């Protein structure tokens, strides 16, 4: 039986009785979870969330009177300390982006199993974020086009090729784990360090001198922009990939001005990180083979 480290009060907001019953069943074996209410519409969800002050709100998107994205915004505008998990049948990257932009801490599709559902709840309670596996697997048209392009042929004897060394800076442990797992499958790429904040991230960049830095902008204390500024002041500059949940043109421009080479939006462009690292490794191997 699973158990939360602390008592967690949960509010369910979904107009479908079958879905609410399904969630109750998934949480039945988790000690420390108390479902304190059920709302069958967005307006009722907002009212109950503000009155009952649960730690976590499980929010559907499609509801008859007020959709879950608007309801999430209204809840967090008054009570920003509440944590919202959007639990929806929609698996498109665009709708996930809208939910996260509204302030949701996680986006989970309803096809997720109990294990992923409970893990998402644990991460959100710990202050981290989560994006459903089904969303990360969604490819944009640009990604699909890139995936159809033939890869360059690696050198015949890559045994002596030094790997592309990567440092990850993201406060969400599950994101770092997924990145590390994804990059471990890319030949010629090695994750050599991970950090949850700017001070440790800068220290790793200075000490390890990585070839690639993958950086989230939303970090505790200082932001990823602070790390970009520090790298621009004398630290040997790696190739910098900003991988963030913030999709704003002004931030893209600001990061580019500070030296970022790529800016990818997590819900829709997660896989592009591996593509960039793979291309870098292939070009590095090709350069060595030509020398």
Span 13-72, pLDDT tens digits: 999 998 999 999 988 878 889 999 999 999 999 999 999 999 999 999 988 788 899 999
Distance CA 108, CA 111 (A): 8
Q: Are 243 and 215 in contact (CB under 8 A)?
A: yes
- 245-252 long-range Cβ contacts below 8 angstroms, 24+ apart: 245/100, 245/129, 245/216, 245/218, 246/217, 246/218, 247/97, 247/101, 251/217
Q: Are 102 and 73 in contact (CB under 8 A)?
A: yes
Q: Are 59 and 13 in contact (CB under 8 A)?
A: yes
Q: How confident is the model at residue 145 (pLDDT cuts 50, 70, 90)?
A: very low
Span 100-118, pLDDT tens digits: 888 999 999 888 888 889 9
Alpha helices by DSSP H, listed for 153-234, are: 173-184, 198-208, 224-231
Q: Where are the domains of the chain?
A: 2-136, 144-290
The pTM of this model reads: 0.49
pLDDT value at position 64? 78
Span 154-202, pLDDT tens digits: 343 433 468 899 999 999 999 999 999 999 888 899 998 899 999 999 9
Q: Is the pLDDT of residue 236 over 90?
A: no
The H or E element containing residue 46 is helix 42-52
**Which residues fall within 8 angstroms of residue 46, CB to CB, at 6 or more apart?**
66, 71, 74, 75
The two three-digit tokens of residue 152, written as one number? 């360059």
CATH class of 2-136: alpha beta
Span 274-289, pLDDT tens digits: 999 999 888 887 665 5
Q: What is the largest CA-CA distance in the chain?
A: 69
As beta bridge partners, residue 191 has: 166
Q: What is the DSSP letter of 37?
A: E
Q: 144-290: same fold as 2-136? A: yes
Mapping DSSP to helix (H, G, I), strand (E, B) and coil, where does residue 59 land? Answer: strand
CATH class of 144-290: alpha beta
**Which residues fall within 8 angstroms of residue 163, CB to CB, at 6 or more apart?**
188, 189, 190, 281
**Which residues fall within 8 angstroms of residue 67, CB to CB, at 6 or more apart?**
42, 61
pLDDT value at position 232? 65
């Amino acid at each position: 039986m699973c158990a939360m480290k602390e008592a967690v009060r949960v509010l369910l907001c979904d107009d479908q009785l079958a879905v609410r019953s399904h969630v109750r069943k998934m949480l039945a074996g988790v000690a420390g979870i108390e479902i304190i209410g059920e709302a069958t519409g967005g307006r009722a969800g907002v009212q109950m969330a503000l009155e009952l002050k649960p730690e976590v709100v499980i929010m559907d998107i499609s509801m008859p009177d007020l959709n879950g994205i608007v309801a999430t915004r209204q809840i967090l505008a008054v009570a920003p300390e509440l944590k919202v998990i959007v639990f929806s049948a929609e698996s498109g990257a665009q709708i996930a982006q809208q939910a996260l932009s509204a302030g949701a801490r996680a986006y989970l599709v309803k096809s997720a199993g109990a294990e992923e559902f409970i893990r998402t709840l644990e991460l959100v309670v710990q202050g981290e974020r989560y994006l459903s596996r089904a969303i990360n697997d969604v490819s944009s048209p640009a990604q699909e086009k890139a995936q159809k392009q033939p890869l360059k042929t690696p050198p015949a004897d890559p045994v002596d090729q030094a790997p592309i060394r990567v440092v990850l800076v993201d406060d969400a442990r599950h994101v770092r784990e997924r990145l590390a797992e994804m990059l471990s499958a890319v030949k010629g790429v090695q994750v050599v360090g991970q950090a949850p904040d700017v001070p440790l991230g800068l220290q790793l960049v200075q000490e390890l001198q990585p070839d690639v830095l993958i950086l989230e902008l939303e970090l505790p204390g200082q932001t990823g922009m602070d790390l970009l500024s520090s790298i621009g002041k004398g630290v040997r500059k790696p190739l910098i990939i900003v991988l963030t949940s913030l999709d704003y043109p002004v931030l893209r421009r600001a990061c580019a001005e500070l030296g970022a080479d790529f800016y990818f939006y997590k819900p829709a462009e997660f896989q592009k990180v591996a593509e960039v690292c793979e291309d870098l490794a292939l070009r590095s191997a090709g350069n060595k083979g030509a020398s």
